[in-house]
Amino acid sequence: MRIRTVAALAGALALSLVSGCAQGAGTGASANTVTYWLWDANQLPAYQACAKDFEKQNPGLKVRLTQLGWDDYWTKLTASFIAGTQPDVFTDHIQKFGQFADLKVLEPLDDLGIQDADYQPGLAANWMGQDGHRYGAPKDWDTVALFYNRKMANDAGLTADQLNDLAWNPKDGGTFEKAIAHLTIDDKGRRGDEPGFDKNNVKVYGLATNGGGDGDGQTQWSTFTASAGWSYTDKKRWGTQYQYDSDTFQSVIKWYFGLAKKGYLAPFTDYNSASNQANTQVAAGKAAAAFDGAWMVSSYDGFKGLDIATAVTPLGPTGKRATMMNGLADSITKNAHNKQGAKKWVTYLASNECQKTVGSYGIVFPATPDGTKAAVAAYEKKGIDVSAFTEPVADKKEFTTFSYPITNYAADVYALMHPAMQDVYGNGKPVSSLDETNDQINLILDQ
C-alpha cells in the first residue's frame, strides 16, 4: 500500500508538471515577481532585508516572501506541486531532499556557479542528486549541543568544565549518565543517584525529551549512535540500505531509552509534538537539560527567569564527540513561473553579501565562513556563547559531524520509523523489533 501511495503521488506530480506552468501563472504572480517560501518566522526579518537589497540591485524585480509554520509548510508545499501553484523558490531541508529529487520537482542549479570551497565543509556536496546535478544552494547550518539550567547544575555541584568533559558508553552510561542521574530529583528531593530515589515520582528530570527521534534522532539519540561508530546507511549519501538492525545501533537505543526506565530521562508521555517539547520542559523547570539544535539558541536564551548555558556533546566509545550538522538550502521548483528571476534570487541568497546580512541578525549560522563569523559576532553582542555549536565544525580532531541520511523514499522511511521508535520509547517494545522495520524500509529502497 505504501509503495502504491508513493507511486500515486509521483503520478499526480508528474501530471502537474505537464500543466504546472499554466497553473502557476494563474496564482497572481507577475513576471516581475519571484515568490519565496520559508518556515522560520525568526528569520523573516533577515530575509526581508536581503530582498530589499536584492530589489535595489535588480530594478523592476520584486521578491514576495511567504512564511508558514513547519507542519503547514511541507503540507502546503506538497499540495502546491500537485496543484501547480508552487513557489519559485523555497527553503529546502535535507530530510525532504531525497523525496523531492526522486519526484523530479526541483530545477537543476548547475549553472549558478556554486563552489564547495565557498561554504562550510560538506554543505554544498549534500545537495547533489544521484544524477550528478545540483538541486540546492547552501543557506545555513546547525549542530546540536546540550542546553542546561545553570542554577540546577550549580545546585548539583556540576561545573561548566565538568559538563563540557562528559563521556558515555552503552554499558553503564559513563560520566554522562552519572551527571544526568545527579541532576534528576524526585518529589521528596532525592537525587537520581541517591538511596531511596523514586523513579515513579520525579519532580525534575535530568534530561528532557524530544520524542522517539523517528529515523534520524537529530536531537535525541543521534549524537550517541554516531559517537559509537554507527551510520544510518551503507553510503554517506544516497545509501541503498539502512542499518537500524545493527547491533551497535540497537545497543545505543536500548541504553538511551533505558534512561527513561531509570527515571532520568523524561518519559514519552511527557512529550507532545505540538506543545511539550524538550525546550518547554526545560522552560517549565521540569527538566534540567536537553539536547537541542542551534536554531533554538534564541528560544532558550529567552526563557524568563532562567540562566541557560550550553555544553558540547559527550565523548563516545570511538574517542570522539559527535553531532549532526544539518545544512539547509534554497531550491528552485521545476515549474517556477519566473525561473530566470528565481535563479538571480537564489544566486544572491547564496552569496556572501546576503549571508553576512543574515548572520548579523544572530538567528542562525549562514553557510559561508564570513556569514558564520557575522552570526557569532551578533550572538556575542547579545551575550550568548555559541561555542558549543561552532567548535564541532572547527575541531575535527575531537569532533565528528554527520548529515541527515540522504536516500530515496524519505517519507516512507519516516512513516515506518516514527511509530517504531515510539513503540520502543513509549510502549516498551524491544529494540530487536527494529529488525523487521529495517527490512521493510530496505524492501522499499530496492524498488
pLDDT band at 296 (very low <50, low <70, confident <90, very high): very high
pLDDT for the residue 105: 95
pLDDT for the residue 275: 62
Strands 144-149 and 137-142: unpaired
332 within a domain of the structure (yes/no): yes
pLDDT for the residue 11: 44
pLDDT for the residue 5: 36
Q: What is the mean pLDDT of residues 145-170?
A: 98
pLDDT for the residue 21: 35
Total domains, the chain: 2
pLDDT for the residue 101: 85
389 within a domain of the structure (yes/no): no
- Report d(CA 411, CA 407) in Å as an integer: 10
- Report d(CA 195, CA 214) in Å as an integer: 35
Of all residues in the chain, the percent with pLDDT exceeding 70 is: 92
391 within a domain of the structure (yes/no): no
71 within a domain of the structure (yes/no): yes
Does the pLDDT value for residue 18 go beyond 60?
no
Residues 307 and 334 reside in one and the same domain: no
394 within a domain of the structure (yes/no): no
Residues 148 and 40 reside in one and the same domain: no
Does the pLDDT value for residue 22 go beyond 50?
no
Residues 199 and 269 reside in one and the same domain: yes
- Residues near 58 by beta carbon (within 8 Å), at least 6 away in sequence: 341, 344
The pTM (predicted TM-score) of the whole model is: 0.91
Residues 125 and 204 reside in one and the same domain: no
**Phi-psi label, residue 205: left if phi above 0, alpha if psi -120 to 50, beta otherwise:** beta
Q: What is the mean pLDDT of residues 70-89?
A: 94
421 within a domain of the structure (yes/no): yes
Q: What is the mean pLDDT of residues 262-275?
A: 84
pLDDT for the residue 396: 85
Q: What is the mean pLDDT of residues 301-315?
A: 97
Does the pLDDT value for residue 25 go beyond 70?
no
- Residues near 10 by beta carbon (within 8 Å), at least 6 away in sequence: 102, 103
Residues 102 and 249 reside in one and the same domain: no
The per-residue b/e assignment along 369-402, b for 16 or more CB within 10 angstroms, e otherwise, is bebbebbbebbeeeebebbbbbbbbeeeeebbbb
Residue closest to 346 by CA, chosen among 90, 100, 142 = 90
Does the pLDDT value for residue 31 go beyond 90?
no
Three-class secondary structure assignment of the chain: CHHHHHHHHHHHHHHHHHHHHHHHHCCCCCCCEEEEEECCHHHHHHHHHHHHHHHHHCCCCEEEEEECCHHHHHHHHHHHHHHCCCCCEEEECHHHHHHHHHCCCECCCHHHCCCHHHCCCCCCHHHECCCCCECCEEEEEECEEEEEEHHHHHHCCCCHHHHCCCECCCCCCHHHHHHHHHHCEECCCCECCCCCCCCCCEEEECECCCCCCCCCCCCCCHHHHHHCCCCCECCCCCCCCECCCCHHHHHHHHHHHHHHHHCCECCHHHCECCCECHHHHHHCCCECEEEEEHHHHHHHHCCCCCCEEEECCCECCCCCEEEECEEEEEEEECCCCCHHHHHHHHHHHCCHHHHHHHHCCCCCEECCHHHHHHHHHHHHHCCCCCHHHHHHHHCCCCEEEECCCCCCCHHHHHHHHHHHHHHHHHCCCCHHHHHHHHHHHHHHHCC
pLDDT for the residue 14: 43
- Report d(CA 411, CA 408) in Å as an integer: 9
**CATH code at 166?**
3.40.190.10
Residues 177 and 193 reside in one and the same domain: yes
pLDDT for the residue 30: 65
Residues 150 and 87 reside in one and the same domain: no
Average pLDDT over all residues of the chain: 92
Range with lowest mean pLDDT among 19-33, 333-347, 400-414: 19-33
- Report d(CA 36, CA 67) in Å as an integer: 9
Last residue of a domain, one of 384, 399, 417: 384
Q: What is the mean pLDDT of residues 39-47?
A: 95
- Report d(CA 213, CA 277) in Å as an integer: 12
Does the pLDDT value for residue 321 go beyond 80?
yes
**375 touches 366 (CB < 8 A):** yes
36 within a domain of the structure (yes/no): yes
Range with lowest mean pLDDT among 139-148, 165-174, 272-281, 328-337: 272-281
Q: Between these two residues, 9 and 302, which has the higher pLDDT value?
A: 302
Does the pLDDT value for residue 23 go beyond 90?
no
pLDDT for the residue 29: 55
Does the pLDDT value for residue 320 go beyond 70?
yes
Q: What is the mean pLDDT of residues 45-69?
A: 97
Residues 241 and 350 reside in one and the same domain: no
pLDDT for the residue 45: 97
Largest CA distance in the chain: 72
227 within a domain of the structure (yes/no): yes
Q: What is the mean pLDDT of residues 357-376?
A: 98
Q: What is the mean pLDDT of residues 273-284?
A: 84
**324 touches 403 (CB < 8 A):** yes
Residues 18 and 68 reside in one and the same domain: yes
Residues 171 and 312 reside in one and the same domain: yes
pLDDT band at 274 (very low <50, low <70, confident <90, very high): low
Range with lowest mean pLDDT among 100-104, 128-132, 279-283, 397-401: 100-104
pLDDT for the residue 146: 98
Strands 308-311 and 326-332: unpaired
Residues 154 and 293 reside in one and the same domain: yes
191, with CB counted inside 10 A (0-12, 13-18, 19+), is middle
Q: Could you list the residue range(s) of the whole structural domain that residue 162 is in?
A: 144-324+409-445
pLDDT digits (tens, 9 = 90+) for 189-217: 999 999 999 999 999 999 998 999 999 99
Of all residues in the chain, the percent with pLDDT exceeding 90 is: 87
Residues 121 and 8 reside in one and the same domain: yes
pLDDT for the residue 13: 45
